[in-house]
Amino acid sequence: MKVIDRLHVCIPAYKELFVIKTLNSLAQCTPPLGKVNISVFVNGSERDESSIRKINEDAFTEIEEWIANYDGHFQVEVFKDFEIPADKHHVDFSRKRLADKALLDLQKEGKEGVMVFLDADCTVNQEYLKEISAFFNETDFKAGALHIEHPVSDARKDRKIIEYELSLRYLVEMKRWTGITAAVLSLGSAMACTSQAYIEKGGMLNVDSSNSTFLEKFARGEQCGKIVKAVVYPSARRSDRVANGTGSMMLNYAEEEFYRLKVAHPRSFEILREFLLQVPGMYQHEVNVNALYPGLQRFMLVNKIKDQLRMFKEVSSSTEEFTNSVYSYFDCQMYLRYLEFMSDEFDDLHIRHAISWLSEYVTGHDPMVNLWSHLQNLRKREVG
């Protein structure tokens, strides 16, 4: 029987004022099987202003004091580095530092464990650690996407964060609808993987924004599941720490009085879906590019996709193998490149209209309900 009894929770912290709230949330969790190590990495750039350095120093001291007074079930540690080269200083660099340290600790123990990634502005539900442990001990998945729910207390006042979470869920639902069924909601603050799988995938990259798609490495091979009972509650605070993250989106709303959150037009997904449905037949017959939508033809030409399809055909021994290769190719970065390219064909759509289209033609929900009801429907759909 498989037994994984080590969890390493990795928390990067930069300019964080409320990291103690995250630690208190973890401290109230039901203890899982085995040992839990919580590591906080307070980090900063060599070019940070003195005001930012003070925030980081104060956070580090506050965490040290919290650890000194903590007498719970978990092992908690904090370390710092405020001299990270500016060209390397980003959240994914810090996540990698934490993950590599966790891996080294596990190797010293001679144990396999699970690396859990959480941000310093999040809280979690009481069963968070227990459910993560159970997931990896009771399934064969090598990675897991945790369930997220941005806190909503008033549907009208919290419209901004409702729209933002809807945009995340819209993109994942539409991606699955195109045929890329293994698509997951991949957030750096809500993911976990086994230490062995981390090694097998070559660890995390030292590139900004690369690890926001870290789970996609596992999803492509159907090695990533959903840990729906482990819930992360990301903060809706404003922040400039991560480009395109929750905080930066809240800044957009704050700085532009009539900011309208827009997402890729449904027509872009329809065109990709129509193409991917034809992929199995391409193994036996040459793709008729001229029959495809003109915008997709141009995208394929620019990215030399016809040559790529020919290569996949040469190295595949079956229709299934060829199809899986093409679907994997259109996952992740190529998928994002496609959506960006097609934004010149179809104007992005306000999330309110996009989510109504999703409800009517994909999920089967009532398209006329308010945004909060749309979000509740999609959360329930995710949990199953």
Cα(214)–Cα(192) distance, integer angstroms: 10
Percent of the chain with pLDDT over 90: 76
The answer to whether the beta carbons of residues 266 and 355 sit under 8 Å apart is no
Q: Which CATH number fits domain 6-150+184-235: 1.10.3720.10, 3.90.550.10, 3.40.50.720, 3.40.47.10?
A: 3.90.550.10
pLDDT tens digit string along 224-283? Answer: 999 999 999 998 755 555 555 555 555 555 455 556 789 999 999 999 999 999 999 999
Chain center to CA of 278: 29
Q: At what angle do helices 294-302 and 305-315 cross, to 10 degrees?
A: 70
Q: Where in the chain is the domain with CATH 3.90.550.10?
A: 6-150+184-235
Residues 6+ apart with CB under 8 A from 176: 183
Chain center to CA of 294: 32
Cα(286)–Cα(298) distance, integer angstroms: 18
How many CB atoms lie under 10 A from the CB of residue 244?
Answer: 9
What is the enclosing helix (H) or strand (E) of 191?
strand 191-194
What does the chain come to in residues?
384
pLDDT tens digit string along 142-161? Answer: 999 999 999 999 999 888 89
pTM recorded for the entire structure: 0.90
Phi, psi of 184 (to 5 degrees): -130, 155
> Would the pLDDT of 79 be above 60?
yes
Sign (positive or negative) of CA dihedral 311, 316, 318, 321: negative
